[in-house]
Amino acid sequence: MADILQCPNCKTENPIGSKVCKNCQTPLSPVNKITGGFIKPGQAPTRKHTADLEPVLPQWLRDARDAARGTEPQNSMEPPLPQAEKDQPAAPPSNDFLAGLQSSEPVSEDDDEYIPDWLANITGKSPTTPREATSEPNTSRRVEMGHTADFPIKEEPAEESETPSWLASLQSQEAEPEKDELTEWFRNASGADTPKHHEPTPKIEESAAAPQPDESPDWLRQMAMDAEKAEAPKPQEDSEFPADAPDWLRNLGSPIEVNPDSGLNPFSLTEQAPAESEASAPPIETPNWLSNETPKQDTTPKWLQDDRAASDSETPAWLANEAPIQLPPEPDSQPLSDDIFTELPGWLKAAAPESSIFSQAAKEPDVAPEPQQDSQDWLKDFQLAADQASEIKPESEATLENAPAFSTDFHSDENVNSLFTEMPDWLSNAVDSSSISPSTSPVDGALAPSELPSWVQAMRPADTSRVEKAQPAPTPNRDLPLESRGALAGLHGVLPAMPGFTPTSKPKAYSIKLNASKEQMAHAEILEQVLAAETSPDPIESLSAYRASRTLRWFIAFMVLVAVAAPVFLRTQFFSTPVGVPNETRDAISVTQAIPEGSALLVAFDYEPSRAGEIEAAAAPVFDQLLLLKHPRLTFISTNETGPILAERFISGPLAGHNYQSGATYLNLGYLSGGQSGIRAFALDPASVAPVDINSQPAWTSTPLQGVTALNQFAAMILLTDNADSARAWVEQTEITRKDTPILIISSAQSTPMIQPYYAAGQVDGIVSGLYGGAIFEQYNAGRPGTARLYWDAYSVGMFLAVVLTLFGGLWNLALGLRDRKPAGKGMK
């Protein structure tokens, strides 16, 4: 049997050394002994010589292969292709898809080869210790499934460079303990509780010598069954199944619905049938690796067929021809980009590294990259790895060990439909696992989602740079969050697809506090409180309050207008003029009485037109008395732009009776700009500052200013102002130059309180304050009528009205305010 290579596709027996099947041209490769374990995604491939892995081939595979070749029961693991049926020779069809997986080198009889427990359970042989794998000829390739660690990492000298890099990586995996990867894979695959695919075929049971119920993967059993059916009349259980569907496909268990949109897992065997049924079952969701089978309708798995055809190529044909099947990506796996994997089953491809596994070095440090060999060398590596396998995988892999990779029982008693609708256990285990955890041991023998079969891993080139989870390669994204779900599962540093992305780091908070000391802040706080109390306006509480205030305002306006207009209209003189004379007014009277007759008086008109009525009412009796008694020469000047014309109004209005003429008895020097500077300038040298009057006539040579050249040469200075600042400016700036010249201020009532200190300090000789002062002065004017008397009744009524309204209204509002504050105080408590 060792001299024969059985084609995994059509079961044709081929002599040893054949690279391709003479019947279906499927590449023939030696079977690598599976040492157990699975190839986990991200795991560095173990570089193997495939040709050396024949010893690794488990016994059950060998038996299956043998059985398929001849006397032994048919193995239905391989999908029976219609074309394959035609092309099949008369020789009993062998469903041993691994039939061609024989080492190129003559392998000793299998009696001494390593038989894992799981295989022993199937074949009934006693398990043996693994023996050192011998190199295999490069004439064929073997495909094994198992963990990377199953394959011993040998340090073989670099041989030919024909070995693809992915093979080299497989060979470099020396650190991994040798395990029966295929057995482990099968164990995991058969461990899944998939009722649809889980019916062990009688063929498997027969050939596997009563295998344990969950030890062999269902799909393997089904394939074995199908292989049987491929030779026997194939029961068309499902009339819906295409006529040219392969037998193994038809015999895959219970009827299944051919529904391409069923959304089944890529692992589901409901994907398109192998190559032979590729053209006939388009609507079926078949694994890509199945759908991409060659159209020769050979029952040999395509990966085996391709092995023959691509023996000279770097990429195993069965790998190159397989369509990609999506696997749940492992966390550390890199996206597939290798063209070599385009025809791989998707689930294999997903487990494969991102970049070309055939071009990147293995990540395992212990792996020594081996030179690329012939395509069959990788099988040798498998063989060697199998020989060097130390221990058998744990019990979870026993089922896989016992189950053939492709069993002829697979096709038997299995509804073909179940192939497409029901997921094999090993596939369901791989899909159901939400977290990609290569360390997760396969449950019930099913293949973990993120775990690659070891035989797949073994095929990876040694120089692949896949990021493996077992030995994660340092990548820039390692530290970034791992995406655990979705299409990008297993990748690092991807943007989350879910809305509500939260930043990984809290944004840095910057202080907006001003850099000020405590003392500065305290000062600012106090100043703030003071200013706020004075300037903060009260907000409008409500429209009703606004209406109430407007009503109150109208009421006050009505009262004031009536109270004021009535006495004026009636020209009453009911109220008495003030009797008491304030001190400042008394002194003012004294000053005016002390002015020499015919002397020059300087009169400053520094008030606004708005207060002209009050000022004129206060100043009229003063000037009337002066002009009447003293006949002074008046000189008008003003620091206000409207002052000159107000002076003209004053002299031609209340004092019209005195018939003062401009240029003769009075002179209007006009406007003096500059404020305090102008006053100071005028005080220093009035002739140069105001050389002409308002008529542009020379002033200081005129009669009114005759003999006057300086400020102190005036007999007195009379200031008419409504502004305390103006009074202060005149007082301050003329303090020195005025010397003994008295100054009399006739001011409005609003500025008197602020001018009072100057009078108290002796800087001002007298003050006549508003209408009150004018009324008093009129009493000392020999009874001459004056404006103050006319206004006095209205003035008194207005004052009394103010007292009444302020007193009663204020008390009322005080009560309201206290009432409003009480609830606020209770609330605060």
Partner 1 sequence: MTLSPDLISGALSFLFTILILSYVIGDNPLFRVAIYVFVGVASGYVASVVIWQVLVPRLITPLVPTAMSNSPMQWVMIAVPLLGSILVFAKISQRLSGLARFSMAYLVGVGAAVTVAGAMIGTLLPQVQSTIEFFDPQIAAARSITTAEVVGNGAIILLGVVTSLIYFHFGAHQKTDGTMRRLLPIEILAWIGRIFIGITLGAVFAGVYATALTALIERLSSLINFFGLFS
Partner 2 sequence: MRVLTAVIAIAVGLIVLIGYFLPQAEPLQSMLLNWAVTIAGAATLMGLLNLLSVHFTKVRRGEKGGIYSALLILAMLGTLAAGIILRPQHIGMQILMNGIILPVEAMLMGLLTISILYAAIRLLRHRTDTMGVFFILTALLIFLGSATLPFGDVPVIGTLIRPWVTQIWALGGARGILIGVSLGALTTGLRVLIGADRPYGGK
Query: Contacts with partner 2 in 605-644 (CB under 8 A)?
Result: 608-613, 641-642, 644
Map residues 678-697 to x or -, x wherever contact with partner 2 holds by CB under 8 A. Answer: x-xx--xx--xx----xx--
Name which of residues 574 to 603 contact partner 2 (CB under 8 A): 574-580, 582-583
Nearer to partner 1, 485 or 523 (CB): 523
User: Which partner from the list partner 2, partner 1, none does 649 bind, CB cut-off 5 to 8 Å by kind?
Assistant: partner 2
Label residue 631 left, alpha or beta by phi (over 0 means left) and psi (-120 to 50 means alpha). left
CB of 524 to partner 2, least distance (A): 18
3-state secondary structure 385-418: HHHCECCCCCHHHHHHHHCCCCCHHHECCCCHHH
| C-alpha distances out from residue 468 to 360, 379, 663, Å | 12, 23, 114
The answer to whether residues 392 and 211 touch, using CB atoms and an 8 Å cutoff, is no
Quote the distance between the C-alpha of residue 304 and its chain's center. Answer: 50
Nearest Cα neighbor of 15 from 109, 108, 139 is 139
For position 667 contacting partner 1 by CB under 8 A, the verdict is: no
Binding residues for partner 1, total number by CB under 8 A: 70
The C-alpha angle 236, 240, 241, rounded to 5 degrees, equals 60
For position 651 contacting partner 1 by CB under 8 A, the verdict is: no
Name which of residues 398 to 417 contact partner 2 (CB under 8 A): none
Q: Among residues 3, 210, 554, 664, which is the contact residue for partner 1, using CB under 8 A?
A: 554
For position 551 contacting partner 2 by CB under 8 A, the verdict is: no
For position 694 contacting partner 1 by CB under 8 A, the verdict is: yes
For position 484 contacting partner 1 by CB under 8 A, the verdict is: no
For position 510 contacting partner 1 by CB under 8 A, the verdict is: no
Question: Could you give the CA distance from residue 520 to residue 663 in angstroms, rounded to a whole number?
Answer: 62
Taking every pair of C-alpha atoms in the chain, what is the biggest distance, in angstroms? Answer: 162
Q: Among residues 22, 581, 691, 780, which is the contact residue for partner 1, using CB under 8 A?
A: 691
Candidates 4-12, 432-440, 756-764, 807-815; binding stretch for partner 1 (CB under 8 A): 756-764
Q: Which residue type does 556 have?
A: I
User: Which partner from the list partner 2, partner 1, none does 393 bind, CB cut-off 5 to 8 Å by kind?
Assistant: none
For position 523 contacting partner 2 by CB under 8 A, the verdict is: no
Nearer to partner 1, 558 or 812 (CB): 558
Question: Could you give the CA distance from residue 231 to residue 332 in angstroms, rounded to a whole number?
Answer: 44
Name which of residues 615 to 644 contact partner 1 (CB under 8 A): 617, 641-642, 644
For position 798 contacting partner 1 by CB under 8 A, the verdict is: yes
Candidates 125-133, 218-226, 433-441, 724-732; binding stretch for partner 1 (CB under 8 A): 724-732
Q: Among residues 259, 355, 484, 763, which is the contact residue for partner 1, using CB under 8 A?
A: 763
Q: Among residues 722, 745, 767, 781, which is the contact residue for partner 1, using CB under 8 A?
A: 722
Q: What are 38's strand-pairing partners?
A: 453
CB of 710 to partner 2, least distance (A): 12
For position 751 contacting partner 1 by CB under 8 A, the verdict is: yes
The answer to whether residues 199 and 53 touch, using CB atoms and an 8 Å cutoff, is no
- Which residues neighbour 154 within 8 Å (Cβ) at sequence distance 6 or greater? 49, 171, 174, 370, 381, 384, 385, 388
For position 557 contacting partner 1 by CB under 8 A, the verdict is: yes
For position 698 contacting partner 2 by CB under 8 A, the verdict is: no
| 811 burial type by CB count under 10 A (0-12 exposed, 13-18 middle, 19+ buried) | exposed
Nearer to partner 1, 431 or 729 (CB): 729
User: Which partner from the list partner 2, partner 1, none does 813 bind, CB cut-off 5 to 8 Å by kind?
Assistant: partner 2
Name which of residues 799 to 818 contact partner 1 (CB under 8 A): 799, 802
| C-alpha distances out from residue 341 to 129, 345, 358, Å | 34, 8, 10
- Which residues neighbour 619 within 8 Å (Cβ) at sequence distance 6 or greater? 650, 654, 720, 746, 768, 774
Beta strand 38-39 pairing with 452-453: antiparallel
Nearer to partner 2, 470 or 749 (CB): 749
The continuous run of DSSP H or E covering 638 comes out as strand 633-638
Nearer to partner 2, 124 or 578 (CB): 578
Residue recorded with tokens 């007193």? 807
For position 738 contacting partner 1 by CB under 8 A, the verdict is: no
Candidates 4-12, 138-146, 373-381, 755-763; binding stretch for partner 1 (CB under 8 A): 755-763
Nearer to partner 1, 259 or 750 (CB): 750
Q: What are 601's strand-pairing partners?
A: 634, 716
Label residue 533 left, alpha or beta by phi (over 0 means left) and psi (-120 to 50 means alpha). alpha
CB of 478 to partner 1, least distance (A): 51
User: Which partner from the list partner 1, partner 2, none does 546 bind, CB cut-off 5 to 8 Å by kind?
Assistant: none
| C-alpha distances out from residue 178 to 188, 348, 467, Å | 17, 21, 21
Map residues 464-503 to x or -, x wherever contact with partner 2 holds by CB under 8 A. Answer: ----------------------------------------
For position 730 contacting partner 2 by CB under 8 A, the verdict is: no
Nearer to partner 2, 243 or 803 (CB): 803
- Which residues neighbour 46 within 8 Å (Cβ) at sequence distance 6 or greater? 148, 149, 150, 151, 152, 153, 169, 170, 171, 172, 173, 174, 176, 362, 364, 367, 381, 385, 454, 457, 458
User: Which partner from the list partner 2, partner 1, none does 565 bind, CB cut-off 5 to 8 Å by kind?
Assistant: partner 1
Map residues 745-764 to x or -, x wherever contact with partner 2 holds by CB under 8 A. Answer: ----x--xxx-xx--x----
Nearer to partner 2, 139 or 752 (CB): 752
The answer to whether residues 349 and 166 touch, using CB atoms and an 8 Å cutoff, is no
Residue 782's φ and ψ, nearest 5 degrees, are 60, 30
Candidates 197-205, 399-407, 573-581, 613-621; binding stretch for partner 1 (CB under 8 A): 613-621
The answer to whether residues 413 and 175 touch, using CB atoms and an 8 Å cutoff, is no
For position 684 contacting partner 1 by CB under 8 A, the verdict is: no
Q: Among residues 89, 757, 817, 825, which is the contact residue for partner 1, using CB under 8 A?
A: 757
Question: Could you give the CA distance from residue 223 to residue 206 in angstroms, rounded to a whole number?
Answer: 14
Question: Could you give the CA distance from residue 665 to residue 684 in angstroms, rounded to a whole number?
Answer: 24
User: Which partner from the list partner 1, partner 2, none does 312 bind, CB cut-off 5 to 8 Å by kind?
Assistant: none
Beta strand 13-15 pairing with 4-6: antiparallel
Q: Among residues 219, 318, 772, 777, which is the contact residue for partner 2, using CB under 8 A?
A: 772
The continuous run of DSSP H or E covering 747 comes out as strand 743-747
Helix (H, G, I), strand (E, B) or coil at 156: coil
- Residue-wise over 701-737: b if at least 16 C-beta within 10 A, else e? ebebbeebeebeebbbbbbbbbbbebbbbbbebbeeb
CB of 631 to partner 1, least distance (A): 27
Candidates 38-46, 223-231, 354-362, 559-567; binding stretch for partner 1 (CB under 8 A): 559-567
For position 782 contacting partner 1 by CB under 8 A, the verdict is: no
Question: Could you give the CA distance from residue 365 to residue 388 in angstroms, rounded to a whole number?
Answer: 19
For position 79 contacting partner 1 by CB under 8 A, the verdict is: no
Q: Among residues 564, 684, 687, 805, which is the contact residue for partner 1, using CB under 8 A?
A: 564
User: Which partner from the list partner 2, partner 1, none does 576 bind, CB cut-off 5 to 8 Å by kind?
Assistant: partner 2
Q: Is the dihedral of CA 41, 401, 175, 340 positive or negative?
A: negative
What is the contact surface with partner 1 in residues (CB under 8 A)?
518-519, 521-523, 525-527, 530, 554, 557, 560-561, 564-565, 568-569, 610-614, 617, 641-642, 644-645, 670-671, 673, 675-677, 680, 691-692, 694, 696, 722, 728-729, 731-733, 735-736, 748-754, 757-758, 760-763, 769-772, 790-791, 794-795, 798-799, 802
